[in-house]
Structure 1
Amino acid sequence: MSPTELSVAILGAGIWAKEADLPAIAALQSAQVPIKVEAVYSRSTSSASALAEAAQQTLKLNSGLTVYSDAPDREGLDELLARSDIQAVIVVLPLGQQPEIVIKALKAGKHVLSEKPVAKDVKAALELIKTYETEYKPKGLIWRVAENFECEPGIRAAAEAIRSGKIGKVAFFRLSVVNYIDQESKWYQTSWRTVPDYQGGFLLDGGVHSMAVLRTILPSPVVSLSGHASLTKPYLLPHDSIQSVLALDSGAHGILELSFAAPSSARGESLTVITGTEGFLELTSGKNETGVQGWTIKTVVGTKDPKEEKQFYKGQGIDNEIEWFVQAVLKGEQNSVSVGEPRGAIRDVALIQAALTSGGALVDIKKLVEEA
């Protein structure tokens, strides 16, 4: 008999777990989504305990969560995963640790929602996906990659408008995301970001969001890429900027600009423009006039007498990715929204990897994914 409530453990006690996942779970519980946090794990007892305290306040718990860590005097991850009352885990660990933990959790019979990126490179991602599809998916275990941009209502609405033909056939596009990261940023001041052991640094860890935007809204997949990568700020090793030209399977093409090296916050930008034969669509992120964070879609349709429409969508991607994971586990994947598929997430990593390694040469994305 399937459970009516999903009991989960959170693995990882960093900023995202505290400031993103816990508030999202609290909002879902208020909306009667059947999810319950039972335990937390981190390498250190202090960080795990801090997350447990934050969870008790955010989720308004009557009693504290069970804390697991790698300290010699505490029960660790193996003991947590052995608990039969926990059906799933939310993995929010540094990128280098995640694949091993994903497999460990699946081996213990747990469903898994793991943070993006799916892995540090295409080869590692492909190995992880093949292991899941061969050994654990046939057992009914669900693994999804938590890519919240794919779950944003605004981005999904933009995708629906484009795929419905509202602006005609897509002819060309541009995505420009420019961020300012200084050494005082909370996102920078974590050891695994300060000295990354994976390609691209922030470009991979944060850049896959932008690749997920393209994957979600473009009606045809990217098949090739040519670009250049560079480093402007030495503390953002190994690269902080990429510019590339992309070609789609449909024959359309576009420009990608992604950087974390803006000279100041005044240069910040998040803009995607899709131009079609009958009009164009602009997608931007930011706050509306009341200070609510979200996404704005502007469509201009018509070749001789163009009409403009604009609509704002409140940001809700984190809530959605967790809720749809809960639905997938409790109701079956066929009854849930199809997001977080690992083979979709691998394409996001592939685009970043191609841009980092192209050096101006053409990279076949399909070949990169299939032959890694």
Structure 2
Amino acid sequence: MSASNTAGTAILGAGIFAKEAHLPALQTLGPLAPKLRAVYSRSEKTAREFAAQATTLLNATPDVYYDGNPSFNLDTLLARPDISSVIVVLPITQQPSIILKALAAGKHVLSEKPVAPDVASGAKLIAQYEAQYKPKGLVWRVAENFEAEPGYIAAGRKVTFFSSRTVNFMDKDSKWYNTPWRTVPDYQGGFLLDGGVHSAAALRVILPSAMTYLSGFASLNKEWLAPHDTINTIIKNADGSHGIYELSFAAPSPSRTSAGGGLVFTGADGWLQVQQTQVRDLIHNVEKPILRVTIKSATRDANGVLGPEKEEVIDEPMRGVELEQASFFAAIDGKDDGLGSPLGALKDVAVIQAALTSSGGLIDLEKLISQS
């Protein structure tokens, strides 16, 4: 694919992640991505600022669309025949209606995670896509960058038990907190849904079988992170393995975030750990994020004697947004690798919803999805 032989794309939404992740990913993909022809935001000011940044990064000036002017609103953008796809990076509760609007206009859609605010609305959205728009050849994928990260994919192994522990420090001066739709969330779980689907997706990619049952508790420990900021759960998988899944945004200070966290998977012959860390790019003299997979393994001989432990370290650069975009554009060209499946993203929402509503009861994750 190149910008010269395909219709262009548009970005709907001009917030932090659109600026700091999606634009740089398009820049990295270069001719592998279609030309960015338009940007949309609810406010003209935000849209123009985003377009200016896009011009700097991509050496192309996208047209600006915003609410309040019929000549330059979203409907006008979606009516353009030279735009075949859109990347939707909007607040959680707004996305389903915009996804359907874009599909109805004949556009392929890559929408940011989560797939929907809850399992029921996500299931309804998927059913409508599969009935009305998939038969027309339209592609809809969900941009879950943890699913695309090579480091998580490399970590897939036979698992006996596991632990996933993530504790985040979220204060009122954080740029992630200071957006209106996060400050007063109109969706379940607050940051737990918005950020938690990432760690659920990482488990979905690494575990060799599907997560099937969950029991846990949710709580609110910092009033400004309502409705919930912490979940602690246990999960059983289809193959009988089980583990702990914990997530919190209520760390009392930044130092708590590095204490006892991360992903650890234990199997019959060893264990592995997946950690996000930084390494220095000696060429550009900057720190870059990576996923480091450390694998420790030891086997027993015929007499049952445990042999020496071996260590393997796999470092993979974090480039999930770039890869999810590349997969989406390839799928439009008929080269579908299955990445970004809306059903996969729905399973991530189901994990978070079950954790928020369990109150200690056992929830069947597959039933939660199938009955929605």
Same fold (TM over 0.5): yes
1:354 alignment counterpart: 354
* Residues 85 and 109 in structure 2, CA contact (< 8 A), matched pair in contact too: yes
| DSSP 3-state at the match of 1:90 | strand
* Residues 204 and 210 in structure 2, CA contact (< 8 A), matched pair in contact too: yes
* Residues 192 and 230 in structure 2, CA contact (< 8 A), matched pair in contact too: yes
1:268 alignment counterpart: 257
| DSSP 3-state at the match of 1:197 | coil
Which runs of 4 or more aligned residues in structure 1 lie more than 6 Å from their structure 2 counterparts after TM superposition?
none
**For 1:256 and 1:34, how far apart are their aligned partners in 2?**
36
* Residues 4 and 34 in structure 1, CA contact (< 8 A), matched pair in contact too: no
Q: Offset of 1:66 from its aligned partner?
A: 1.0
1:37 alignment counterpart: 36
Query: In the alignment, which of 317, 321, 333 is matched to residue 324 of structure 2?
Result: 321
| DSSP 3-state at the match of 1:281 | strand
Q: What amino acid sits opposite 1:228 in the alignment? A: F
2:302 alignment counterpart: none
| DSSP 3-state at the match of 2:321 | helix
Q: What amino acid sits opposite 1:272 in the alignment? A: L
| DSSP 3-state at the match of 2:121 | helix
* Residues 212 and 348 in structure 1, CA contact (< 8 A), matched pair in contact too: yes
2:298 alignment counterpart: 302
**For 2:33 and 2:253, how far apart are their aligned partners in 1?**
43
**For 1:346 and 1:34, how far apart are their aligned partners in 2?**
26
The CA deviation string for residues 235-263 of structure 1, in whole angstroms up to 9 with x for no partner, is 10100000000000111110011011111
Q: What amino acid sits opposite 2:274 in the alignment? A: L
Q: Offset of 1:6 from its aligned partner?
A: 4.7
2:164 alignment counterpart: 175
**For 1:20 and 1:71, how far apart are their aligned partners in 2?**
27
**For 1:189 and 1:262, how far apart are their aligned partners in 2?**
18
* Residues 167 and 249 in structure 2, CA contact (< 8 A), matched pair in contact too: yes
2:241 alignment counterpart: 252
* Residues 6 and 34 in structure 1, CA contact (< 8 A), matched pair in contact too: no
**For 1:193 and 1:285, how far apart are their aligned partners in 2?**
24
Is 1:86 aligned to 2:86, yes or no?
A: no
The CA deviation string for residues 34-66 of structure 1, in whole angstroms up to 9 with x for no partner, is 4210001111111111111111111122xx321
The CA deviation string for residues 101-151 of structure 1, in whole angstroms up to 9 with x for no partner, is 000000000000000000000000000000000000011000000000011
- Structure 2, unmatched stretches of 5+, are 282-286, 300-305
Query: In the alignment, which of 108, 113, 116 is matched to residue 111 of structure 1?
Result: 108
Is 1:133 aligned to 2:130, yes or no?
A: yes
Aligned length: 356
**For 2:5 and 2:202, how far apart are their aligned partners in 1?**
33
Deviates more, 1:70-79 or 1:234-243: 70-79
1:166 alignment counterpart: none
**For 2:8 and 2:152, how far apart are their aligned partners in 1?**
29
- Structure 1, unmatched stretches of 5+, are 163-168
TM-score (norm 1): 0.93
Deviates more, 1:80-89 or 1:34-43: 34-43
**For 2:91 and 2:298, how far apart are their aligned partners in 1?**
47
2:284 alignment counterpart: none
| DSSP 3-state at the match of 1:51 | helix
* Residues 70 and 76 in structure 2, CA contact (< 8 A), matched pair in contact too: no
**For 2:57 and 2:71, how far apart are their aligned partners in 1?**
25
Q: Offset of 1:337 from its aligned partner?
A: 2.4
Q: Offset of 1:71 from its aligned partner?
A: 1.6
* Residues 144 and 198 in structure 2, CA contact (< 8 A), matched pair in contact too: yes
Query: In the alignment, which of 73, 90, 103 is matched to residue 76 of structure 1?
Result: 73
* Residues 5 and 34 in structure 1, CA contact (< 8 A), matched pair in contact too: no
Deviates more, 1:210-219 or 1:307-316: 307-316
* Residues 69 and 77 in structure 1, CA contact (< 8 A), matched pair in contact too: yes
* Residues 192 and 352 in structure 2, CA contact (< 8 A), matched pair in contact too: yes
2:49 alignment counterpart: 50
Rate the CA distance shift 1:356–1:23 in 2: closer, same or farther, 3 A. same
**For 1:54 and 1:6, how far apart are their aligned partners in 2?**
22
**For 2:274 and 2:263, how far apart are their aligned partners in 1?**
5
2:337 alignment counterpart: 337
Identity %: 52
Is 1:281 aligned to 2:272, yes or no?
A: yes
Q: Offset of 1:74 from its aligned partner?
A: 4.3
**For 2:359 and 2:99, how far apart are their aligned partners in 1?**
33
The CA deviation string for residues 301-354 of structure 1, in whole angstroms up to 9 with x for no partner, is 114221111121111101101111111112x1xx23221000000000000000
**For 1:82 and 1:39, how far apart are their aligned partners in 2?**
12
2:147 alignment counterpart: 150
2:303 alignment counterpart: none
Rate the CA distance shift 1:309–1:6 in 2: closer, same or farther, 3 A. farther
1:24 alignment counterpart: 25
**For 1:72 and 1:28, how far apart are their aligned partners in 2?**
32
